[in-house]
Structure 1
Amino acid sequence: MSIVSTRKLTSRQRLWLAAIKVPVYSVSVIPIIVGSSAAFEKISTFDFRIFTTFLISSILIIAWINISNDYFDADTGIDKNKPHSIVNLINNKSLIFWLSNIFLILGIGGIVLISWLQKDLTVLFMVILCCILGYSYQGPPFRLGYKGLGEIISFITFGPIAVSASYYSQVQHFSIISLASGILIGISTSIILFCSHFHQVKDDFFAGKRSPIVFLGTKLGSIVLKVITVFLMFLVIFFPILKILPFWTFLSLLSFPVAHKLVQHVSQYHNQTSKVKNSKFIAIKFHFFSGILLSVGLILSKFI
C-alpha cells in the first residue's frame, strides 16, 4: 500500500470516528450511572440486570438520535460543509433512515423488557417522552433545535427525566435526590450542546438555525457559558448544604479544573473556529468527570 493511499485511509477513518461521535455517548451513560447510584444510596441494593439493560438501551437510543440528526440536517443543508456527517460519508439517506430506526426499536425494546420484568410501565413512558423530545430537536415539522431550544430539550431529556427514570428502574418510586442529581447532569449536558455551536455559527446562521450563539454572538456566548458553569458549581455546593443531596456529593467539585479550562478556552478562542471547536470535547470531559464524581459521592454516602 502506498503512502498516499495510507494517508487517505487514515483520513477516512478519522472522519468515521468523528461521525460516530464516541465521546458524545457520555450523555447516555452518565445519567444511568448517576440515577442508579442515587438508588443505591437510598436502598443499599443494586439490580445489575436492570442497570445493564437500561445502559445498553440508552446507548442505542443516543445512536438513533445522532444518526437521525445527521439525516434531518441533510434536508436543511446545514451539514454541507461537514465531511464527517454520516449522510456525506455513506451517501445513502434511505439506509441511514432505517438504520437509525433499528437502533431506536432495539433501545425501546430493552426498556419494554424492564417494564415487563417489573410489571410497571412508568420507566417506559418516561423513555418514550425522552424520545419524543429527542425527535423534536431536529425532526420535522418541529426542528426546535433550529429555534434555539436545543439546550432546554437536552437539559430536560438527559437530566431530570433520564436520571429519574434510571433511579425509578431500581427502586420503583421517585425522590428529591434523583431530581437534584438530574438537574446537575442536565446542566452539564446542555453545556456540551451550547459549546458545539461556537465553531459552526456561520453555517447555522445561513441555514436558518437560530442557535444561542447565533442569537448572542460568540463573545456574549462565552460570558453566558461562564455564568452557567459558575451556577452549576454553586448548585454542587448548595444542594449538600441544604441536605438535598448527601454530603459526599461535594466530590463533584473536583471537576472544577476541567470546568475552568473549558471557560478559559472558550473565552480566549470564542471567535476562532479552528480552535474553539475543541471546546465541545472539553465540555464532554467535564460532563463525564463531574457525573462520575457525583456517582461516587452518592455511593460513598452509604458507607461513610
Structure 2
Amino acid sequence: MTTFESVVQPKSKLWLAAIKPPMYTVAIIPITVGSAVAYAQTQAIDLNILGTFLLSAIAIIAWLNISNDVYDSDTGIDINKAESVVNLTGNRNLMFWLGNLFLGLGITGIATISWWQQDLTVVEIVLLSCFLGYSYQGPPFRLGYQGLGEIICTICFGPLALSAAYYSQTQSWSIANLLASLVIGISTSIILFCSHFHQVKDDLAAGKLSPIVRMGTKIGAVVLKWSTASIYALSAVGVASGLFPVATLLIFLSLPLAIKLTNFVSEYHDRPERVRTCKYLAVRLHFASGLLLAVGFYL
C-alpha cells in the first residue's frame, strides 16, 4: 500500500485492519476443537476452564499481533503498511508495552487454570508456544525472516494449542486430538502463507525469505492447493481409522471455501493488488472448517 493510499483511506478502516478482528479466530478455533475432542471422549466439559482459556488465548493473540508490528517496524519491512499499529500511533514503545500487557493477562489466565488443577502442564505448554511465537519475529531469532513462520505456526496453533486445550479438560493425552491438531495447525498456517503473496517486493527489500520469496508465487499457488487438500485428507483418515466420529465429515461442507481460495490464488498469484485479499479467504476457511470439525466432535 502506498503512502498516498494510506492518506486517503479512512482512519477507522485502517484501525480495523490493524486490530484484525477476524484473526482472533486463530485463538478461538484451536481451543474449541481441542475441548470438543475432550468432550467427545469424556462426555464432560468444564465451562469455567473453557471460558478462561478462550479469553486468555485472545489476549495472547493480541500480544502476538501487536508485537509483530513492533518488531517489523524495527526492520523497516512495514514502511508501506498503513495498518500497522506502530505507523498509526507513531509510538513504538507504547505498542511494545501494550502488547506485553496483553501477554501478561493471557499468561495469568492460563496460570489460573494450572492453579485450579494443581498441575503446571497447561501453563508450560502455553509458555513454550509463546516462546515460539516470539521467535517468529522477535530479536535475535526472527525465524520468520528465514521462511520458518509456517512451521512455527503449525506447531503453535496445532499440536501445542490443541494439546493444552485437551489437557485442560482431561489432564491426559489423545491420539485423536493429535490428528485433529494437524488439521487445525495446517489450516492456520495457510493464513500466514497467503499473507506473503502480495508483499514479495517488501519482503525482498527487508531481507525476509518467506516461502513465497523462496519458491515464487506460481509454485506457491500449487503448494497452497496441496496444503488445503491435506486438511480434508487428514479428516478422512481420522474417520476411516475410527479416531474421529463420522459427524466430523461435516468439515467437507467448507470445501467450497477451499476451492474458492485456491482458484483465486491460482488466478491472481502474481498480481499483488488483487491477491492481497486472499488471506481473508484463508481466515474464512480456517474458521468454517475448524468450527465444523468441532461441531462434529461435540455431536
Tell me the TM-score normalised to structure 2 length.
Answer: 0.96
Tell me the equivalent position of 1:101.
100
Tell me the equivalent position of 1:70.
69
Tell me the equivalent position of 2:4.
none
% same residue:
56
- Per-residue deviation, residues 93-132 of structure 1 (Å, max 9, x unmatched): 1111110000000000000100001101000000000000
Deviation at 1:10, TM superposition (A): 7.2
Partner of 1:51, secondary structure, is helix
Task: Give the aligned residue type for 1:225.
Answer: L
Tell me the equivalent position of 1:24.
23
Mapped pair 1:113 → 2:112: yes
Query: Is 9-18 or 170-179 further displaced after alignment?
Result: 9-18
Q: Distance in 2 between matches of 1:109 and 1:237?
A: 38
Q: Distance in 2 between matches of 1:35 and 1:227?
A: 24
Tell me the equivalent position of 1:260.
259
Q: Is contact 2:180-2:235 (8 Å) kept?
A: no
Partner of 1:95, secondary structure, is helix
Task: Give the aligned residue type for 1:290.
Answer: S
Deviation at 1:9, TM superposition (A): 9.7
Task: Give the aligned residue type for 1:292.
Answer: L
Tell me the equivalent position of 2:139.
140
Q: Is contact 2:176-2:238 (8 Å) kept?
A: no
Query: Is 227-236 or 217-226 further displaced after alignment?
Result: 227-236
Tell me the equivalent position of 2:205.
206
Tell me the equivalent position of 1:236.
235
- Per-residue deviation, residues 175-228 of structure 1 (Å, max 9, x unmatched): 012111111000000100000000111100110000000001111110110111
Mapped pair 1:89 → 2:69: no
* Structure 1 gap ranges (5+): 1-7
Q: Distance in 1 between matches of 2:285 and 2:203?
A: 25
After superposition, residues 8-23 of structure 1 pair within 5 angstroms as: 11-23=10-22
Tell me the equivalent position of 2:58.
59
Q: Distance in 1 between matches of 2:62 and 2:106?
A: 9
* Structure 2 gap ranges (5+): 1-6
Partner of 1:142, secondary structure, is coil
Deviation at 1:231, TM superposition (A): 2.1
Q: Distance in 1 between matches of 2:298 and 2:13?
A: 38
Tell me the equivalent position of 1:277.
276
Q: Distance in 2 between matches of 1:163 and 1:203?
A: 34
Q: Distance in 2 between matches of 1:178 and 1:59?
A: 21
Tell me the equivalent position of 1:42.
41
Partner of 2:97, secondary structure, is helix
Q: Distance in 2 between matches of 1:279 and 1:116?
A: 41
Partner of 2:83, secondary structure, is coil
- Per-residue deviation, residues 236-269 of structure 1 (Å, max 9, x unmatched): 2111101122221111111100000000000000
Mapped pair 1:216 → 2:215: yes
Partner of 2:281, secondary structure, is helix
Q: Structure 1 segments of 4 or more deviating over 2 A?
A: none
Q: Is contact 2:204-2:213 (8 Å) kept?
A: yes
Tell me the equivalent position of 1:225.
224
Aligned residues: 293
Q: Distance in 1 between matches of 2:185 and 2:290?
A: 10
